[in-house]
A = this chain, B = another copy of it.
Amino acid sequence: MIARPHLLKIGDFARLAETNLRTLRYYEELGLLAPATRSEGGFRYYRETDVHRVNMIRDLQALGLALERIRDLITGPGPGEGRAAYLDRIQTALREHDRLLRERMAALEAQRERVGHALQKLEQCRGCPHTPHAENNFCEPCLQTGRELPEHLSALF
């Protein structure tokens, strides 16, 4: 006997997936995520496990991918696609996801270093008599050291 999947109306499913009705209907329109079924009256019914799909969409979106691109990555087998090709395609999608994650993490690490340098330099600025202003080109270069400011200080002065 096969377990009957537990179905949820769009409101309950939206709460579970921490999203909202409009977004789910828009995903359906784009072919990203269709409800498992509809009632006679047109009500959408979702599987609980579809929450994972919503999460994956959100994750990929936060990495900067457009929804159309995400659809191409994660949508199911084409007509007549074999089992092996199917598994291969999924593996490719997951590896692509992992690659994007690694790239993004490296970029964030670099950013974090830049912010750190700016915070360090800012401490030095506290003991300096100069104030960034148009007349000293906003302390660029630094009047104490003669060197360029950390990028994130230059951005804020």
Contacts and interface: CB of A to CB of B under 8 A. Distances in A.
A139 to B, nearest CB: 10
Interface residues of A, number: 53
A108 B101 contact: yes
Interface in A69-95: 74, 76, 83, 86-87, 90-91, 93-95
A151 interface: yes
Given A49-B154, A64-B62, A94 B108 contact: no
B122 A87 contact: yes
A91 B119 CA distance: 7
Nearest to A117: B94
Contact of A119 (B95, B108, B116): B95
Given A49-B138, A151-B55, A154-B52, A116 B98 contact: yes
A67 to B, nearest CB: 15
Nearest to A54: B155
A135 interface: yes
Contact of A74 (B3, B116, B156): B156
A111 B91 CA distance: 16
